């Protein structure tokens, strides 16, 4: 088990250093790659607070009232994606995305620390 872990760790380290060297090129590509040529999928998330629900606990002024929920469409698109693990995982899987490299780097550091702690 340790052997397979080692190989993963070292390959992770090699890849990370290469990725870091290319990070400027990659991030530039990511910026350019953000053209929505493919039609965006229709949002499947439905809010648990339908339009008209009073959002309790938000107001803290004497003369104010708790805000009322608007229709789902009135909120920005990113709000429905921000808590979606699928969206996050898609970004981590995409090698052009910064998140991919951050996660790879994170895992490589964890693996290296694991090895180092095992040795001492």
- 88 scored as a contact of other proteins (CB under 8 A): no
- Subset of residues 38 to 77 that bind other proteins, contact rule: CB under 8 A: 45-49, 53, 55-58, 60-63, 67, 69-70, 75-76
Q: What angle do CA 21, 90, 45 make, to 5 degrees?
A: 150
Distances (CA, A) of 51 to 11, 44, 59, 60: 51, 17, 18, 22
- 23 scored as a contact of other proteins (CB under 8 A): no
Minimum CB distance to other proteins smaller for 38 or for 78: 78
Minimum CB distance to other proteins smaller for 39 or for 85: 85
Distances (CA, A) of 88 to 38, 50, 71, 104: 19, 25, 25, 14
How far apart are CB 88 and other proteins at their closest, in Å? 11
């Amino acid at each position: 088990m340790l052997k397979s872990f080692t190989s993963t760790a070292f390959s992770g380290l090699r890849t990370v250093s290469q990725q870091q060297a290319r990070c400027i090129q990659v991030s530039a590509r990511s910026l350019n790659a953000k053209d929505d040529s493919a039609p965006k999928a229709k949002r499947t998330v439905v809010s648990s607070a339908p339009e008209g629900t009073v959002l309790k606990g938000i107001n803290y002024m004497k003369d104010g009232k708790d805000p009322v929920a608007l229709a789902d469409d009135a909120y920005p698109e990113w709000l429905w994606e921000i808590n979606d693990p699928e969206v996050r995982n898609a970004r981590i899987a995409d090698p052009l995305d910064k998140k991919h490299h951050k996660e790879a780097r994170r895992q490589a550091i964890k693996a290296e620390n694991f090895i180092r702690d095992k040795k001492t």
